[in-house]
Every structure is written in C-alpha cells, then in structure tokens.
C-alpha cells in the first residue's frame, strides 16, 4: 500500500449528502399521516428530521472537504423550488420492498439538482448517477427478518419482512404545491437504531409567490 493510500485511510471521513428541507407544516403533516397510514407493524416510520428530498448523495468524503462543499452551495443562486407530493406511496423495490417513498414533481428541483451535480462533479466531490433524478422522500422502511447476532457472530443485513398492508394514500392537503425552504448539506451518522442527520451548512430558498406553507 502506497503512502497516499495510507494517508487516505487516516483521514477522517464523513457520509454527506445535499437535500431540500420541507416546510414545517408539510413535515408535521407527514408525521401525522405516518401515525395513521403505517398500520403494518413491519413498517418503521422515518423520523421527522429524515423527511427531506435528497438532491445529491456524496457518500464518504474527507471532513476537510465540508467547507468546500458549503462554499459551492453558497455560490448557487437561491431560487424558489416548488414541489408537489404524489398521493401514492411507492414500494422500492416493487416485489419485496425494503422502503416506501413519496415521489415529488417540480421542474425547479430538477434544474437545481443538475446545477449542483455539475458544480460538485467538476471538483470530483460527486459522481453523477446514471439513472435520471427522481425527487422523492423516504417515509418508511421495512423491518428486517434479521435475528440478533449470537456471541461472536457478525451482524448481517437480512431480507426485509413481507408487508401485509401497504401504507395508505396521502390526504389531499399534503399533495398541494409548496416551496422547499432550504438547500442543506447534511452529515449522516449511521447508528444501530437508525441514521442520525446533522445539518452542516445550507442556503435558504425564497418562497414561491403565494406560498403560505412555510
């Protein structure tokens, strides 16, 4: 192993992504919907702080790059980003889902994501995905069939359990258009009880004309 590789292993790294933050009224409405809609006990509701629309998942990056990424976000022109959530939760994958997501529509989100992806990839901090950008938020994960590991055993992933009752549709009030409030850089800390998200930097977004849901 060369010196450069050894140095990389010693460098502290952070699991990073950039996402759109939802208005408090929309996030609170989704939390209320989760309580009623996720009736199947194998479904685990995502925490309120996890209800965001990811623009670019950067993966593990050196901690020293955080300031550079924050600077790139600051250079992108803040603009209104209007979104509308779909009513039907989408199972991913379709056969035996491991999570359920809510899709969103909005041309401005796609334009912002493309600009951000180009800026980050230009400095080799992001590798664009081959699949088209799909704005969405994860609302529930499916609990695993995994059993607790025995003494000396490694913890495996296990298959997702079978869902007997899919999540209910979103109410009409949650499918009305709204404006994202912030484009934020997050650090994801993986823990046994689930990921913890820490906002590191961000840019406030102006409200679309007539938006009252902030």
Structural domain includes residue 77: yes
pLDDT confidence of 100, banded at 50, 70, 90? very high
Structural domain includes residue 185: yes
pLDDT confidence of 210, banded at 50, 70, 90? low
What are the φ/ψ torsions at residue 15 (nearest 5 degrees)? -90, 115
Structural domain includes residue 8: no
Structural domain includes residue 39: yes
Per-state percent for the chain, helix, strand, coil, to nearest 5? 25, 30, 45
Give the CA angle between residues 17, 23, 29 to the nearest 5°. Answer: 110
Structural domain includes residue 61: yes
Domain count, the chain: 1
Query: What does the pLDDT look like over 126-136, one tens digit per residue?
Result: 999 889 999 99
Q: What is the rounded (10 degree) CA torsion for 48, 92, 180, 21?
A: 40
Structural domain includes residue 50: yes
The whole domain housing 185 covers 15-147+155-204
The pLDDT score that the predictor gives to residue 1 is 37
Query: What does the pLDDT look like over 44-78, one tens digit per residue?
Result: 999 999 999 999 999 999 999 999 999 999 999 99
Structural domain includes residue 195: yes
Give the C-alpha separation, 108 to 111, whole Å.
Answer: 5
The region of weakest confidence among 41-55, 103-117, 144-158, 199-213 is: 144-158
List, as one string, the DSSP characters of 16-75: EEEEEEPPHHHHHHHHHHHHHH--STTEEEPPGGG-EEEEEEEEEEEGGGHHHHHHHHHH
The pLDDT score that the predictor gives to residue 191 is 76
User: For residues 209 and 41, which has the higher predicted lDDT (pLDDT)?
Assistant: 41
Query: What does the pLDDT look like over 176-207, one tens digit per residue?
Result: 999 999 999 999 988 776 788 999 999 999 99
Structural domain includes residue 53: yes
CATH of the domain at 67: 3.90.1140.10
User: For residues 9 and 141, which has the higher predicted lDDT (pLDDT)?
Assistant: 141
The pLDDT score that the predictor gives to residue 155 is 52
């Amino acid at each position: 192993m060369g010196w450069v590789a050894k140095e990389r292993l010693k460098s502290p790294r952070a699991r990073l992504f950039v996402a759109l933050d939802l208005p408090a009224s929309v996030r609170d409405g989704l939390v209320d919907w989760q309580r009623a809609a996720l009736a199947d006990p194998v479904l685990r509701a995502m925490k309120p702080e996890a209800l965001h629309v990811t623009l670019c998942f950067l993966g593990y990056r050196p901690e020293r790059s955080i300031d550079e990424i924050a600077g790139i976000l600051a250079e992108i022109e803040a603009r209104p980003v209007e979104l509308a959530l779909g009513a039907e939760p989408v199972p991913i994958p379709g056969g035996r889902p491991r999570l359920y997501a809510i899709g969103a529509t909005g041309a401005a989100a796609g334009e912002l994501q493309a600009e951000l992806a180009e800026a980050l990839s230009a400095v080799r901090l992001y590798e664009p995905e081959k699949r088209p950008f799909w704005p969405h938020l994860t609302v529930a994960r499916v609990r695993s069939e995994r059993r607790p590991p025995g003494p000396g055993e490694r913890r495996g992933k296990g298959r997702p359990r079978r869902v007997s009752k899919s999540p209910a549709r979103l109410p009409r009030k949650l499918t009305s258009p709204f404006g994202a409030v912030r484009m934020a850089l997050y650090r994801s800390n993986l823990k046994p009880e689930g990921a913890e998200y820490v906002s590191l930097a961000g840019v406030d977004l102006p409200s679309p004309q007539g938006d009252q849901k902030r």
